[in-house]
Structure 1
Amino acid sequence: MNYFRTAMLLAAMTALFMFVGFLIGGTGGMMIALLFAGAMNLFSYWNSDKMVLRMHHAQQVDERQAPELVGMVRTMAQRANMPMPKVYVINNPQPNAFATGRNPENAAVAATTGLLNTLSKEEVAGVMAHELAHIKNHDTLIMTITATIAGAVSMLANFAFFFGGSRDNNNPLGFVGAILMMILAPLAASLVQMAISRTREYSADKMGAQICGNPLWLASALNKIAGGAARIPNPDAEHNPATAHMFIINPLSGERMDNLFSTHPNTENRIAALRNMASEAGMTASGFASQQQASRPNTGPSVPPSNAPKGPWGGEQPKRPKGPWG
């Protein structure tokens, strides 16, 4: 059902884009708009992941720099039967994470230092599993396409304001219609984009819980991330709000309600769904607590130097120049 709903929303976004093009230039304008959207999507297909990672100053890490995190992602990727993505760390105190990439073979996951320093290993495993679910479901590509089309709709609507009111073109709405289109078309595109994002989050929560093996790990992580995101600002996200839908929890201030204008579902609703999933599987909160002590994901080999500085989870890491975790 989620895939069908996503397909319908994508069709609505494309139809809206072509409709705006038609109002500007008739059938010819509609075709030009379609070609323009195709060119933008092609550019985004090849470059969006690099652009997003650069916007948030993400630094790629390997097993020498972040052995536990990279080992954990590798374990989760093996469980999900998918290629190992690149792993990035963002030097930001707000706990959060996102995934990007055009397909599972060319993907990356990024976690903030705030997430690594705040969450337990089990909770980080739940978050990484959620992001891998986005990659496996091709959500990163879907969201890139919708963000690109939404931006193109806004550009066309602004174009219509300057040229759509002329008597010499094919716009049947005139100048007043051009003003309305400039206001309503971007709003409609944003609403569709947000609806797609929210649909994909629920699907990624469910698959992520299956990948990590315990829905309560992700539920606990969402609770902590939401609390941290509400208290700790994310300047890079505030400067690039178009990337907010990519994060596991909305990194922007002031958008916490589950309404049409939210890029993410209400966190409490997501947690409730995960707890119901755990309950159906016979897992309990006390069981989660005992699993935190007795059952930990395989995070790869540890690094044994005796005088090494402490890492983000309290483990020892090799001496090296100052890296993304400070």
Structure 2
Amino acid sequence: MAEKKAEQYYTPPPKLGKWEGFRIFIWNSETHQFLGRTGASWGKIILFYILFYSGLIGFFLAMIAVFYQTIDLRIPKWQQDKSVIGNNPGLGFRPMPPESNVESTLIWYRGNDERNYKYWTDELDKFLQVYKNPGTVPGDGKNTVHCDFENYPGDKVCYVDPKEWSYCSSENHYSYHRSAPCIFLKLNKIYGWVPEYYNDTNSLPENMPKDLKDHIQTVENPHALNTVWVSCEGENPADVENIGPIQYIPRRGFPGFFFPFKNKEGYLSPLVAVWFERPTTGVLINIECKAWAHNIRHDRAERRGSVHFELMID
């Protein structure tokens, strides 16, 4: 009869305390393991991740290089009606209310309190800083020229002269201390967009404000009609009554020699400062400003061609 084999039992490892188990996990002198791995094991896994992430980074850089071959940093691939922006520029205003009231379009201040209106003048200082120090724009000073309706910039860009802003200058606190604030208007930039001017005084639209029609018909220089005109009005009868006289500085529109926008170095958008000379104080005034050209359509909901804001001076 075959000899019966002796039964063998598995002997469990000795129970270790928490500190002893942690110490052995950090370094096991018997197996020469660090953090549960031998030196060879650590070498293999480190090499794997070095190769893996090197390949990943290389692939990413290669895709970026291919992508940059398909775009031009100055000229957008999709332009005007083929782009998300479209070919109908919007109109913006400055100064803007605080970011805490991002949905607001209300300019509200006390004209006899410098600490109160200082926010608005400081915002205009920030916005106009690049115009006062044009050297901060790349390339400016090298390709900037003074333009007029007889001299277009060609391959250069037109200079915007802050000295033309008169009462709407920083030195005059933008007339906020006189309760006669200046609001700056700016037409949004669309690459390659060319305005179709109202340079025929016999074809002005019926809905154009009468005072703007009268102004256009008094323009003597026919070249000066190549302008994207600007108008600001009170939205309701009460607003019309309270808005008071308005001046447009330095001119009533955006001159044609600033168009088309070609993203040239040093380019600065033209500005129109709307000076509200004597608005009624203590009441809210709803104001709508519009830009006028044949190919500018006005849509307040989509913020195209016009801009709405409210003015209240205590």
TM-score using structure 2 length: 0.23
Which structure has greater strand proportion? 2
More helix per residue: 1 or 2? 1
